[in-house]
Structures are given as structure tokens and as C-alpha cells.
């Protein structure tokens, strides 16, 4: 276990925590105590050719070019990446709102600084609204694009958008499916879910190495344990019919990453995925990944995961606790990992 790492030597990188509080009526998707999910079929299916990826990102400003002296938290934790390494982040952005404290207007500059420091190759996001995602895309700069539909269909509702560095990765195809008994039907719900739940996925290629892999990103229900169980089983079934390539699954699973979680057991024990937080030989300090802008909780519940198929090597993992003047970019900690594809 490694201690907290400072970013750029100016922005301290400690590591944030969790405070489990949410007002469902406000549209928040956090659970107060999360157990497990299971089965069903999903919409965007199998193998490598479902749809041509469509970038939803607007024209972006080049202003978000990272400083040449910046070092990512992963670099500070484990040293410079190899050219073929893949830096991945899962990040619940917290939906954009101008009501109350920690508005999007207040949080956006902090998120911009965090992402400017980190520059992940791949970011699985949750809760982003269309206008919010366009803000993030503009702040990341012209080298990034993103894909994914809104959970209410089209551009509506929260997205499970996947951002990627276009100088590093090429999107070959992509798709979306809903976690319901009718996964091809946008905004469909089943199993007592509070809101529509979905998965956005893409097949990527690294032009430098010629290697391909799948990325999938989700946000499981915050209310219904039954929906989480079924959602996890549906995801496992869909991943199983993808082409035999490495898979990286990111998300807010609203479930603890422990043996008591049926969601975790379904995806790790039964589907054969590995939890990079458990397998990485180098890790930053552990905290609850939901903090709700409160104090960090050491060794608290980890609801935000990065999972991979066997054969993908986790070099390092961390929870990024960056904040500025006491303000966090979101009510979740972004979780990051450096991966090596087979």
C-alpha cells in the first residue's frame, strides 16, 4: 500500500472518501447500503459489429492541452507508463445541477484540472447529462471524443458515456443496451429499478500496437437489489458473446466490492472477470468511493470498480482525491488503473 501522492507538486493528491447519502427525488443514483444483482438479456449485443461508433462530442478547443511538466497520479504512484500501457478511469461525474451547494458551475473547473492532470486513455463516466458531457469534452480538448446514448433514449437523461483519447485509440464500433427484459428498447425498465439503467460499450483498437479490446460502462440501480442482480447477470451474458478479446468494464455498481455482494460475485466469480483493485500490486490508499463532499472514509465501501478479463495485467490502481480549495469535482472519487493488455 502506498501513501497519498501529490499531483504536480502543487495540487495535493490524497484520496477521497464516501458518505452514503442521497435524495432519489433529486435524481441522485447513490445507494445507502448496496448489496447485489443478477440475470436478463441486453440490447446492443455481441460480437464486433453492431454499429459504427458515432462521436457525440462537439468541436473542442485545443486549450485543454496538458502542461508539459504535469505528472499524472498514476505516474507518481508507479512511474512512467510504457507506450502500450492503458490508463483507465471510472468516474461518476455527479449530474449537473445549479441547485444547492456544489453546483456544476462550481465543480467544473476542479474537474477540468483533475482531468488535465490525469489525461486517461479511457474514461467510463456515469450520470453525465448531454450539456455536461459537452462541457467535459470541451475541457478535455480536441484530442478526446466520446460515445453513448442517454438512458432515456437519444440525448435524453443521464449517459454512460465513454471518453477516449483519439490520438491513442480508434473506436471501431459501439452500441448501447438497457438493463431490462427488453434490452433493445431505449428507456426500458424491469425488476423494480428506480430508473432506466443501461450499458454503453465500444470496440477499440490501438493503432500503435494493433491490439483491440472492448470497453463497457454501466451504472447499476441505486434502489432495487433485485435489479442490480439481474443487471449484473445480463451484463455478464452480453460480455460472454463478444469476440474473444480483452474486456474492460467500468462503472458505478452501487454495490460493495466484497464477497457479500452478489453483483461482485456474479461478475468476478461467475463471469470470470478480475477486480483490478484486488489484483494491482501497487495501490494508493483505500477509501469509500462515495463521499458526498464530506470527509473521506478510510477503507470504506468501494462501489466504483474497474474489472477486466483474465490476462489483462493491472500495474497499479488508485482513488484520486484531488480537490481545490476544499471543493471536489464530484461526490464520487474517480478510480484509476494502469493496465497492460495481453
Cell of 12: 495535493
Query: What pLDDT does 46 receive?
Result: 37
Confidence of residue 71 (pLDDT cuts 50, 70, 90): confident
Distance CA 336, CA 87 (A): 7
Residue 337 in this model has a pLDDT that exceeds 50: yes
Distance CA 331, CA 324 (A): 14
| pLDDT tens digits, 125-166 | 999 999 999 999 999 999 999 999 999 999 999 999 999 999
Confidence of residue 53 (pLDDT cuts 50, 70, 90): low
- Domains of the chain in start order, with CATH, are 29-64+72-92+121-278+302-311 (3.60.10.10)
Cell of 238: 452480453
Q: What is the reported pTM?
A: 0.82
| pLDDT tens digits, 246-291 | 999 999 999 999 989 999 999 999 999 999 999 999 999 999 999 9
Query: What pLDDT does 88 receive?
Result: 99
Distance CA 165, CA 331 (A): 25
Residue 28 in this model has a pLDDT that exceeds 70: no
Q: What do you get for the CA distance between the two ends of the chain, in Å? A: 25
Distance CA 86, CA 314 (A): 10
Percent of the chain at pLDDT above 70? 80
- Bridge partners of residue 316, in order along the sequence: 282, 338
Query: What pLDDT does 3 receive?
Result: 37
Q: CA of 3: how far to CAs of 9, 134, 279, 329, in Å?
A: 15, 34, 18, 21
Amino acid at each position: 500500500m502506498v501513501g497519498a501522492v501529490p499531483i504536480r507538486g502543487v495540487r495535493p493528491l490524497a484520496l477521497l472518501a464516501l458518505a452514503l447519502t442521497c435524495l432519489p427525488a433529486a435524481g441522485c443514483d447513490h445507494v445507502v447500503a448496496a448489496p447485489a444483482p443478477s440475470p436478463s438479456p441486453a440490447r446492443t449485443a455481441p460480437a464486433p459489429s453492431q454499429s459504427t461508433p458515432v462521436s457525440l462530442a462537439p468541436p473542442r478547443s485545443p486549450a485543454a492541452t496538458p502542461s508539459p511538466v504535469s505528472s499524472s497520479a498514476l505516474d507518481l504512484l508507479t512511474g512512467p507508463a510504457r507506450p502500450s500501457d492503458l490508463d483507465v478511469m471510472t468516474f461518476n461525474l455527479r449530474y449537473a445541477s445549479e441547485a444547492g451547494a456544489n453546483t456544476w458551475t462550481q465543480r467544473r473547473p476542479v474537474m477540468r484540472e483533475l482531468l488535465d492532470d490525469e489525461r486517461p486513455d479511457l474514461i467510463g463516466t456515469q450520470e453525465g447529462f448531454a450539456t455536461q458531457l459537452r462541457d467535459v469534452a470541451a475541457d478535455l480538448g480536441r484530442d478526446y471524443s466520446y460515445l453513448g446514448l442517454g438512458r432515456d433514449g437519444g440525448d435524453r437523461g443521464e449517459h454512460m458515456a465513454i471518453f477516449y483519447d483519439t490520438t491513442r485509440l480508434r473506436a471501431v464500433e459501439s452500441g448501447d443496451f438497457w438493463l431490462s427484459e427488453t434490452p433493445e428498447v431505449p428507456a426500458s425498465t424491469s425488476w423494480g429499478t428506480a430508473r432506466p439503467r443501461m450499458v454503453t460499450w465500444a470496440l477499440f483498437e490501438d493503432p500503435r500496437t494493433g491490439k483491440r479490446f472492448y470497453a463497457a460502462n454501466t451504472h447499476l440501480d441505486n434502489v432495487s437489489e433485485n435489479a442490480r442482480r439481474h443487471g449484473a447477470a445480463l451484463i455478464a451474458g452480453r460480455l460472454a458473446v463478444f469476440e474473444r478479446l480483452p474486456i474492460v468494464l467500468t462503472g458505478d455498481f452501487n454495490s460493495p466490492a466484497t464477497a457479500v455482494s452478489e453483483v461482485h460475485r456474479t461478475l468476478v466469480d461467475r463471469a470470470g472477470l478480475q477486480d483490478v483493485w484486488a489484483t494491482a500490486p501497487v495501490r494508493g490508499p483505500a477509501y469509500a468511493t462515495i463521499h458526498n463532499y464530506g470527509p473521506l472514509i478510510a477503507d470504506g465501501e468501494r462501489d466504483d470498480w474497474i474489472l477486466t478479463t483474465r490476462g489483462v495485467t493491472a500495474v497499479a490502481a488508485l482513488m484520486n482525491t484531488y480537490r481545490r480549495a476544499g471543493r471536489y469535482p464530484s461526490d464520487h472519487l474517480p478510480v484509476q488503473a494502469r493496465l497492460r493488455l495481453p
